Structure 1
Amino acid sequence: MGSAEVALIVVAIVAVAVLVLVSLARRLDRLHRREATSRATLEAQLVRRAEAAIAVAESGILDPAGALIVADAGWRAAVESERLVGEDTVGEHSVAAAEARGLVESELTRALRGALGAESDQRRIAEDPDGVALLARLAHHAYRVQLARRFHNDAVVQIRHIRRSPVIRAFRLAGRAPMPRPFEMDDALDVLDPTAPSAGPPS
């Protein structure tokens, strides 16, 4: 085999390696963009859930103590808590901010569980004409939060998996992009949707 053939083989190998690296870099970039989009979606859904909770608390359909607790937790989630998107969501600050936000959102979930009670209690709330719309709105946004968090965490898991690859690490294909973290919170909230066909009439 002459030097020309060897050179061609080397060029071909280098070209294939470059194509593989470019493909990996593009895939990783798409995953990071998907994670950023899912994080923004999750942020929006969390705020909407908090706003729906505040509306329930202010409606008068809950007992006064429960309404006060839900209103306070909803206000902290919607207004006072750290955001998941924005200029300050990079680095160590973002980790602490996400953890703090998760605790605030978990407190809102627990406040709603305590105030709404079991399904039978929620059916009594739904006997109020205002309660039907308010419960339906809250149920919708509580479910959307669960979906948004699942999609976001799935994207994070994929990124963390691919970034553990020796090739990704050796060639620094992730650049300076921070390693994303899953968003942890208690989102186990079953809210009766009186408008859903399976909910049946209030009893």
Structure 2
Amino acid sequence: MTPAEIALVVLVVLAVVILALSSVARRLDRLHRREARSRATLEAQLVHRAEAATALTDSDLLDPASALILAEAGWRAAVTAPRLLGEDGADAAEERGLAESELTRALRAALGPAADQEQWATTPESSQLLARLATASYRVQLARRFHNDAVVQIRRIRRNLLVRFFHLAGRAPLPQTFEMDDELTVLDPSSGTSPSSAG
């Protein structure tokens, strides 16, 4: 091989490597943007669930003790717990997960089994409150699954030796999955089902 041919082979190999690395970097960037959007969606759905839970406390469905416990858990989740966005970010995920799990447990205790909830669905107002909570709880479960899926994909790619060696992730922090207890069955009187039963 002549020096010119060797140089050409080296250039071709370098071009292929650069194309491959830039492709991985673009994919990683897209995944990070997807994770940021899914985190924002999850944050919004968590707030909607807390609002729906708090709305139950203003009704006559719950006994005063259950209403007080649920109102406190809803307040903590909606107002005082750290946000998943902004400066709080990923560091706050564990603390927020604990607050959201506490709200789930308070809801489970206040609502009881679906048979008890059927007794509440006798008026349009109470049916609407249960339907709102059922929808909000189901959307939280979906948003959390989408978010955690994006995080898992990012973490898998970032474990790659080439990604670490060439710093393809830049300064983006390593995202964390959002863990919480979201197993909650809420009767949706409008459909007669429990869409928020977690699997």
Matched residue, 1:59 = 59
Calculate the aligned-residue CA RMSD, in Å. 1.1
- The 5-angstrom pairing of residues 24-39 of structure 1 reads 24-39=24-39
Q: How far did residue 46 of structure 1 move?
A: 0.1
Gaps of 5+ in 1: none
Q: TM-score scaled to structure 1, two decimals?
A: 0.93
Candidates 138, 148, 151, aligned match of 1:153: 148
Shift of 1:63: 1.4
Aligned counterpart, 1:10: 10
SS for the counterpart of 2:69 is helix
Conservation of the 8 A alpha-carbon contact between 2:49 and 2:140: yes
TM-score (norm 2): 0.95
1:169 aligns with 2:159: no
Q: Compare 144-153 and 75-84 and name the one that shifted more.
A: 75-84
Query: Is 1:195 matched with 2:190?
Result: yes
Extract structure 1 runs of 4+ deviating beyond 4 A: none
Distance 2:193 2:10 in 1: 65
> Partner of 1:133 in structure 2?
128
Matched position secondary structure for 2:171:
coil
Q: Is the 8 A contact 1:61 1:128 kept in 2?
A: no
Query: Is 1:121 matched up with 2:106?
Result: no
Give the match's secondary structure for 1:59.
Answer: coil
Structure-2 separation of matches of 1:197 and 1:128: 14
Distance, in Å, in 2 between the alignment partners of 1:197 and 1:117 is: 16
CA distance in 2, matches of 1:70, 1:178: 34
Contact 1:126 1:194 in 2 (8 A): yes
Local SS of the residue matching 2:34: helix
Q: Deviations over 1:56-81 (max 9, x none)?
A: 11112111111111111101111111
Aligned pairs, number: 194
Unpaired runs of 5+ residues, structure 2, are: 195-199
Q: Larger deviation: 121-130 or 181-190? A: 121-130
